Structures are given as structure tokens and as C-alpha cells.
Amino acid sequence: MTRVKSKNSAISKIYAILIYVILYFPIAVMILFSFNDSKSMTNFTGFSLRWYRELFNSGKAFEALKYSLLIAVLSALISTVIGTLAAYGIFHMRSKALKRTVQSVTDIPMMNPDIVTGISMLLLFAFIQVIFGLQKSLLGFGTLLIAHITFNVPYVILSVLPKLKQMDKSLVEAALDLGCTPAQSFFKVEFPMITPGIISGAIMAFTLSLDDFVISNFTIGNTFETLPIMIYSMTKREVTPDMNAICSIVFVVIFALLLLSNIFDGSRSAAASITEKLRKNSKVTAIVAGCVAAVLLVGSTLLFIFAPPPAELTLNIYNWGEYISDGSDDSFDVIEGFEEWYEETYGKKVKVNYTTYSSNEDMYNKISSGATEYDIIIPSDYMIAKMASEGMLEKLDFSLIPNYKYINDDLKGLYYDPDECYSVPYTYGVFGIIYNSAKVDEADVEAGWDLMTNPKYSGKILQYNNPRDAFGVAMYAQNLDVNSKDRAVWQQAFDWLAKQKPMVQSYVMDEIYNKMESGEAYISSYYAGDFLFMYENNEDLAFYQPEAVNYFIDAMCITKKPTRDAETYELCNLFINYMLSEEAAVANAEMLCYASPNSLVIENEEYIEYMSDIHEDAMDILYPEGLDFKAKYEQYAYLGLDAETNKLMNSLWSQLKVSAEEDEVEITNYISLGILAVIAGTAVFFFIRKKKRAKYY
Amino acid sequence: MNNEKLIELRSISKSYDGEKVLRSIDLDIHKKEFVTLLGPSGCGKTTTLRIIAGFENPDEGEVIFEGKKINEIPPYKRHINTVFQRYALFPNLNVYENIAFGLRLKKLSDEEIKQRVSEMLALVNLKGFEKRDVTSLSGGQQQRVAIARALINKPEVLLLDEPLGALDLKLRKDMQVELKRMQRQTGITFVYVTHDQEEALSMSDTVVVMANGEIQQIGTPEKIYNEPENAFVADFIGESNIVNGTMIKDYLVSFAGQTFTCEDAGFAPGEPVDVVVRPEDIDIVPVENCMLTGKVTSVTFKGDYYEIIVDIDNFKWMIETTDRVKPGQTIGISIDPYEIQVMKKSEFSGMFGDYSTFSDEMEHLSELPAEDAE
């Protein structure tokens, strides 16, 4: 017997260890890399506090964390009060039917997908705005707080209600019997009894609020960002290592809170001894209570203290994540620079609200929903065409943008803005082939796009995991028109991809950085600017630019907004002009590593030196000599596809992906079917057995 | 005990969800009296107690305290304290703070509280337990804390709701003695609820037997035991053989096919009655000079006596005796006139007092408390 037992306990120990390893290994890796000396996500080069230092210096991530914490603390506090009162009310309801109904109604928001809660909140706020005829969008700190309180309250009720139910009812009667009024009995008896539930409810609310992305994304508005939203919009580039640092901090904080909550929940005597100690020493209680109150007061007023004195003007900018020089890495903070410049020049304070998105489509949806208003956006070329045709863009006042003259003429008057009225180019880039020069023969590289179907490197090739780029590669490789509406052309591209498929290691987007930097893959296609990023971590990487490639341009635009006054419109134009000034443009170009359309940048000595430090040929890679950009762009760049072609592309893409993963999918299908069959079989077995037994009752 | 009325219940009725729990209860409780409400589960004794405490409002009737109607006075304004069935100590407070709870509400000085708490701890024999966590105490100790917590407020009345129900037998006996001592020492009126008739008889000045939401009999323990007014009381208090009889005339009753002299009078001649004879009051005598004969069907050893079941004229009698008899043996029995109690027929007639289906276990089951259902 004992032998069996010890065997079992050994197995259960191994099982437990395995589970903990699976759960915590990734976090351990993250924490380890938050102390990494270099930027690499794969090589640990030495211990350093660099990213923590940067975090505290840059302020951007910290600002987001500050808002996240503020929202989490406030929403946890308020929802704890509301939820506790609600639980108390539900518990004391006389009608059992009503009690059940109210309880299930409060449970629903927990089961509701976040996306539903988020959208319905957004609609509600937009609706209120319309009903009261408000000029300004309601979205902001207040709406975010309301949304968080809303989804937190059910969790607080869920954790307080059982404590009330567990409580011996005669305790309240005993209190009344000994002379307590009902109010006194609540505070002296019931409250201490349910305190563990209240505390664990509050902690749960805090953590849920801290990491919420979906609901926040819909209700946050345009004035600030929380940490999850900021991290999510970083997908344009790889997530920077200071995010490891901030996530490590958040993890440690939440871990500590959960430990605390378990102590409170698990041992009533611990809670009791704390309250006992507090009660005994009323001075300490007063001091502690005073401190807590003070911290809360300071916390909630932080916003107003730290926010600059009420600005006379606000400018709402909506940009890609990590797409501006923001003061990190000792760089120049362009937004701050603009605010200072404007105040100096015009004597007025301006507040820039800077928030970020992760894709053109995200940005488009958010703006077309109408709930949030932005002034400046930086979409890509095809999206500008789309938005302009839909009347979503405002014409620029070029008399206020004299720096437009520094923009390379090649990038003016292109298809997306032929009359040069909606946009000013911000950055542009080209894609090409990135390869590992230590593994790939230079002779093979000369083949251009055919390198991507070279069987010699089978299993080491990466392909885009999005249809437009993947088909783009296939079409460039065969000299096809990437904007063709011809079915046959797309079919031909599909065939090329199907042929390539067995050689492809995987279809990736962001993972490309790690796979290329670590040498796991040798060949991939990506943008030149991103190549420079990767090169910093792996100097074996090289860049080859074939003849036929895609070019993209991201340009600054002003959104259409009828309520915008003349002064703000002027401000928008002045901001765009400021972005073209030498200081701002150089800082941005250095931060982004993509090509700059601005001659002030290209001719700037410091910029040339900075880029050459990254890669000796950086300038040649970004700005190839003798390139007729306009001709190339017009010949090769992606245009927006019409609906039908888009549909065709997507269906071919899913066909490719399905066939690529056919075997895998088939196995998964069988396994899922098997599991379903077992579940159904078990259910039927228990049902029949119950019926059979019931016959004998 | 004196004759000054402290609490008067006048025609109290109470229903839960249309089910009558109390039917017009009338009860006087006097100063310094130890009153026990005795009855089986669901008889309404706990409800009566809760009405006195103020946790429940009667549907009809008046609760009068020192001559004033207190129906509308909430519990925290009544000079009444309660010891709860499961003690209801505050788990977040230690022994000292539990006992001091009522005094803290009255905002007494720390010195006075300290003095009175130590008096109370002495009264309930818990000196030195001040700092103990109440959840670490044994059932008996918790019970004492609960009593001290109630008594420290110097109530006019202490209500005790089956306070000893959760204790084991030995401890229960000790606590009975102690409770009685505390009551005498403090001079406070105790209203005690229990389903344990032995507890009721040994502690009370007055026993109130309840069944079906009505009071069956009020009296001293001796009176209740010796002169039960109906079959229910006779059966519930101790063991009883209850047989159908006919009153022939005053002091002469016939049952079991025989005529007996008795001490009861005042019935109509020929009136059907219930006759009670306690098992220990029946003497076993030689068959030659007996009043009744019967056949022994079972013998159970009970330690200091035998409990035997005797079939007399197709009715199973229980007899407690120290004589050794054997199952199957025919014995003769004799009953003295003063051991015969004649009762009027009631709604309970014929329901109790026949031992043909008797077993200790059955009786035990039927006594299991289910007061929560009230």
C-alpha cells in the first residue's frame, strides 16, 4: 500500500512541477530578458538594468503604466464599494425568485465576451453624446473608468456574496441582541466577516482592470493610453525590451497582490489578527487610515497635478505604435518639442494627446465609428486614397506648411493624392530580401526573388503571413502586375506560392525578427528599415533589393471634422510643418530607420553618421543611388484592391494555408471529433444510468 | 422567585408561509424564575423565544414586559439577552472583546469594562482566557463565553436557545448544574428552550410543555411529571404506559379488564379516560396475589435496572424493575392507587403510550432537533 502511495505522490509531484514549469517558464524568460544588456530578444549578453533605467527615463511607458494603475485603483475601489453594497442587497432580498433573477443578471457581464461589452459601451457613450447634442466626444478618462467599474462589479459581487452566505446568521442577531443598531451590526459584525471577500474582490477587480485591453480599446478616447493598449500598438515593430521590464514589474506587483489576497482569503485568523491589532492600537489605525486616504487622494489628483495647466488648445494625434521619436534612448521628444515651440511662438499652451494604433484598418474603423475624434493621422498610401475618396480627410493649408518644399519631388502628386492636397509624406520604404550571409551563397542571391524558391535553402525560408505581401512576392518574382484584376494572374501567383510552400519554414509577421536574428531562418522578405533593426542584433544579415519590389509611403493627414475651429485647423497644419523641420524630422528618421522624404534629413551630417553607425551601407540601402522612385513606385507599389479582387485573393490565400496545413488540420479535426465523441458518450452513459436507477425509486 | 410578573405573552399567534407555528399562546414569566419551554422539534418553543427577544414579530397578540407592551421595540432596545444555539460568538474578536461587546456599545470606560469582564470570566470559570481566539475554544468553553457575553449586560431576562444541545452528555450535566448556579447567583430570569425533558425537569422552576404550537401544560417539574394533563405530556416527560380506561366513579377506574382504586375524582361516571402508569411505578409480584398477569416479550439490561416489555391483555406495557425475569415468563404485576394518573381524553389520546413498536433508537430519531425549520 505504502509503495503505491509513494509512487503516486512522486507522479503527482512531477505533474505539479510540470504544470508550474509550463505556467511560469515564459514569465521567467521575460524577467530574465528584462535584465538583458542588449536589445536582442534571443541572446542574453549580460546583466544590466538598462531597460529599467530607460523605462524610468523615457516616461512614455511609465505614463501609460501610471494611467493603468490609476484606472485600476480607482475602478477597483469604486466597484468594490458598489459591488459590496449590491451583494449585501441581494443577500437580504426577501423574494427568492427576485434574488435568483438579480444574481443571474449580475453574472451575465462576466460571461459576455469583452468585445460585446466594449462595443456596447462605445455605442452607449456615442448615443449619450448624440442625445445631449454634445460637441465633444465623451470618451476619455471618465468613460474608461465607468467601463472598468462596469465589468468589475460582477466579480466583486461574486467574491462577496459567498462570504455573506457562509456567515452564521445568528451573528447578526447576537449583535442586535447585545445592543447594536442594524447599522452598527453591519460595521461591527458583518463587515469584518466579509472583509476577506471584499479584499479578494477588490484585488480581482484591480488585476482585471490592469490588464484589460478589449473594453479599454473601445472606451478610452484619444487623450491617453493604458499599458495594454500601448503594448498592443507596438506591433509595427518588434516589442522593445523595456516592455520586458515593465511587464516584469507588473507581474511582480500582481503576484504580490494575489499572495496577499490568498493570505486574506485563506486564513481568517490572519485577517482577524490584523484587524485585532489595528483595533487595539487606535492611534496606529488612525495613522494607517490617514495614510491610505492621503495616498488615494494624491493618486486621484495626480492626473490634475501632473497634467499641464489647462491648455487653451488640444491636438489629437493618432499614429502607429513606435512611430515617432518620443524621448526614449535619449532621443529628442518631438511632441514636447512642438508644444514648447508653439507656446514660445504663439504664447498659447497646446496639449497634444498622442495615441497609437496597430494597423491602417484599426485606425480606419476607429475613426469611421465616429466615437473618437482625431486631428492628425499618419495612414499608408492606399488608405489615404480610400479615406480621401470617402471624404474623411481635410484639405491641408500649404501656406502654413512652407517646409513642404523640402519634400522629395518624387514623392509628390502620387496616385493616392494626385493634386497634392491631403497629405504630406512622413516616411517611405521599400522591401527586399534579407538573408544570412554566413549561410547563403552570394551567387544565389543574384537570382533575386528566385532565392525564395531555391530548394537549397528549403526549410530556412520565411514567407509573409498576410495575403497581400505573400502574393506580392510571388507576383514580383514572376514579373506580374501586383494590382492586376485578372484571375489568371492571381492563379499564377498562387501556383508559385504553392510550389514554394514545402520549402517554407513558416508563415510569419513579427516573429521574423527573432527567427532571422537567431539564425533559425536564412531568407525572408521585409522592409529595409526593419533590416537595419535586425542587423543591430545579427551582423551576418544582409539586404538585397530586387528590381521589382513594393514601396510604401506613410503620410500625415488631417481628418475631416466639421466642429474644428480655425485656430485648431491652423494648429494641425503648423504641426505638420513642424514635423518637417530639421530637428524633428532627423529625430524621427533616426528613430524609425525607414527612409525620409525630407532633404533636410538626407543632407544632415549627424543623420548620415548615425545611420552609418548602424550599417556602413545604410544610406545606400535606404536611398539607392540613381533610383527613379516615382517610376518604380507607379509601376510596382500596391494599390488598394477592389472588393472582388480582394475576395479572390483571400480565398486563394486560405486555400494555400489550408493545403499547407492540411495534414495538421486533418489530425486536429480527428482529435477534436474524438474528444467530442468521448464527452457525448460519457454524457449519454450517465443520463441512461440515472434514468435506469430512477425506475427503482 | 417571586410573584411579580416580568413578561406576559397574551394570545400570541405566528404563521410562516401560511403554516401556523404558534396558536394563541398565553404565558406569564415571573421575576427570578427559571422557565423552560419544552417540546419536540417544530412545537414553536424557539419561535416563542425569538418573539420575546424581538427577532420575530407575532402576527397577533401582545408581548408585555414589566407591564408595557413591547411588540414594536427592536431587539437592541430590550433589556433581554440571548444565548444562541450555536453560540454565535464573533470569530473576529477574542474572548475578552466578545464578552465586552455589549459594554463597548454602551461606551463604558476601559477600567469598568475590564472589571466587569473579569467578574464574568470568574462567574463562568474562564479566568485566564481573555486573549484566546474564540475559534480555538472547545464547545463548552464557547458556551460559557456566550453566557458571559449575555450576562455582562445585566439583562432582566436571559433567553437560552438549546444552549447545551451541541455538548456531550457529561459536559451537559455539568453545565446544567452551573447554569442553575449562575441563575441563582445573578438572580436573573432565565427562559430556557430545550427538547430534553430531563434537562427541563432538573433545572426549572416552571416547565412549559409545548406541542403543535400550543401550550399543553404549565407547572413545576414534579407536577408535570406526576400529574400530566394529557397523553402528550405524559409520554413526552419520561416513559409512560397510557391505556384506555373508564371512570366508574370518583376514585375508581377500570382498565386492562380490571378495576383499580385511584386518587382522581371529578370525572363523569362512565367517562372514557386515558390512564397513565409510569414504568418504574409498577411492581412485579407473584402471580398468585397480583392484579394483572402478562407475558414478558423482551428484557433489556439498562445498567441499574431492567427494562422489560410485558404483554397484558394484548397491550404492551413497559416496566422498569430490578427483578430478573426471562422473556416468555408469565409474571404478575401490582399498581398502587397513588401511582395511577387519570387524564381527560385529548387530541393525543391513542397516539402514545403503547410500547409494541418501541425502540430506543426510534425515540432518539424523533427527538433530533430540527428547530431551524421553524
Enter the DSSP assignment of B238.
S
Distance CA(A136)–CA(B173), nearest Å, equals 79
Contacts of B149 in chain A (CB under 8 A): 178
The predicted structure's pLDDT at residue A297 = 60
Enter the DSSP assignment of A162.
H
Given a contact cutoff of 8 angstroms between Cβ atoms, the answer to whether A318 and A224 are in contact is no
The predicted structure's pLDDT at residue B171 = 85
Confidence bin at A461 (pLDDT 50/70/90):
very high
- Write the ipTM: 0.82
For position A330, which CATH number holds? 3.40.190.10
Taking residues B28-45, report their average pLDDT.
Answer: 92
Given CB atoms, is B80 within the 8 Å cutoff of chain A?
Answer: yes
Given CB atoms, is B74 within the 8 Å cutoff of chain A?
Answer: yes
Whether residue B235 is contained in a domain is answered as no
Given CB atoms, is B372 within the 8 Å cutoff of chain A?
Answer: no
Given a contact cutoff of 8 angstroms between Cβ atoms, the answer to whether A254 and A207 are in contact is yes
Confidence bin at A299 (pLDDT 50/70/90):
low
Q: Can you give the residue range of the structural domain that contains A380?
A: 313-424+558-636
Whether residue B231 is contained in a domain is answered as no
Given CB atoms, is A280 within the 8 Å cutoff of chain B?
Answer: no
Given CB atoms, is B285 within the 8 Å cutoff of chain A?
Answer: no
Cβ within 8 Å, pair B74-A168: no
The predicted structure's pLDDT at residue A307 = 47
Q: Can you give the residue range of the structural domain that contains B77?
A: 5-226
Q: Which three cell numbers stand for residue B120?
A: 464574568
Least confident of A292-296, A668-672, B4-8: A292-296
Given a contact cutoff of 8 angstroms between Cβ atoms, the answer to whether A68 and A299 are in contact is no
Contacts of B75 in chain A (CB under 8 A): 173, 176-177
Cβ within 8 Å, pair B149-A178: yes
In DSSP notation, A373-427 reads --SEE--BHHHHHHHHHTT-EEPP-GGG-GGGGGB-GGGSS-TTSTTS-S-EEEE
Q: Which residues is A326 bridged to in the sheet?
A: A333
Indicate whether A206 and A329 sit together in one domain.
Answer: no
Residue with cell 449585501: A88
Taking residues A609-629, report their average pLDDT.
Answer: 88
Given a contact cutoff of 8 angstroms between Cβ atoms, the answer to whether B99 and B152 are in contact is yes
Domain end residue (candidates: B174, B195, B226): B226
Cβ within 8 Å, pair B86-A176: no
Indicate whether B144 and B271 sit together in one domain.
Answer: no
Return the closest-CA partner of residue A202 out of A258, A163, A242.
A258
Cβ within 8 Å, pair B88-A174: yes
Percent of chain A with pLDDT over 70: 90
Q: Is the pLDDT of residue A563 over 50?
A: yes
Indicate whether B166 and B95 sit together in one domain.
Answer: yes
Residue with cell 436573573: B188
Mean pLDDT of the residues in chain B: 88
Distance CA(A396)–CA(A422), nearest Å, equals 6
Return the closest-CA partner of residue B9 out of B64, B68, B67, B78.
B64
C-beta atoms surrounding A22 within 10 Å: 9
Q: How many domains, in total, are found in chain B?
A: 2
Indicate whether B216 and B131 sit together in one domain.
Answer: yes
Least confident of A245-249, A298-302, A332-336, A469-473: A298-302
Percent of chain B with pLDDT over 70: 94
The predicted structure's pLDDT at residue B31 = 92
Q: Which residues is A504 bridged to in the sheet?
A: A461
Q: Cα A252 vs. chain centroid, distance in angstroms?
A: 21
The predicted structure's pLDDT at residue B287 = 86
Indicate whether A199 and A344 sit together in one domain.
Answer: no
For position B193, which CATH number holds? 3.40.50.300
The more confidently predicted of residues A676 and A274 is: A676
Indicate whether B16 and B140 sit together in one domain.
Answer: yes
Whether residue A273 is contained in a domain is answered as no
Indicate whether B323 and B222 sit together in one domain.
Answer: no
Return the closest-CA partner of residue A64 out of A351, A316, A355, A373.
A355
Whether residue A6 is contained in a domain is answered as no
Distance CA(B162)–CA(B191), nearest Å, equals 10
Bridging pattern class, strands B80-83 and B157-161: parallel
Given a contact cutoff of 8 angstroms between Cβ atoms, the answer to whether A545 and A639 are in contact is no
Residue with cell 551630417: A605
- Mutation target for A interface from B76, B92, B374: give the one with most A CBs within 10 A: B92
Q: Which three cell numbers stand for residue A510?
A: 513579427
The predicted structure's pLDDT at residue B374 = 37
Indicate whether A106 and A216 sit together in one domain.
Answer: yes
Given a contact cutoff of 8 angstroms between Cβ atoms, the answer to whether B240 and B226 are in contact is no
Confidence bin at A92 (pLDDT 50/70/90):
confident
- Residue A135: phi and psi, rounded to 5, are -75, -40
Distance CA(B156)–CA(B196), nearest Å, equals 25
Given a contact cutoff of 8 angstroms between Cβ atoms, the answer to whether A304 and A316 are in contact is no
Distance CA(B117)–CA(B121), nearest Å, equals 6
Cβ within 8 Å, pair A173-B55: yes
Whether residue B48 is contained in a domain is answered as yes
Least confident of A286-295, A378-387, A501-510: A286-295
A6 to each of A3, A16, A19, A20, how far by Cα in Å? 5, 15, 20, 21
Q: Is the pLDDT of residue A282 over 70?
A: no
In DSSP notation, B74-143 reads -GGGSSEEEE-TT----TTSBHHHHHHHHHHHTT--HHHHHHHHHHHHHHTT-TT-TT-BGGGS-HHHHH
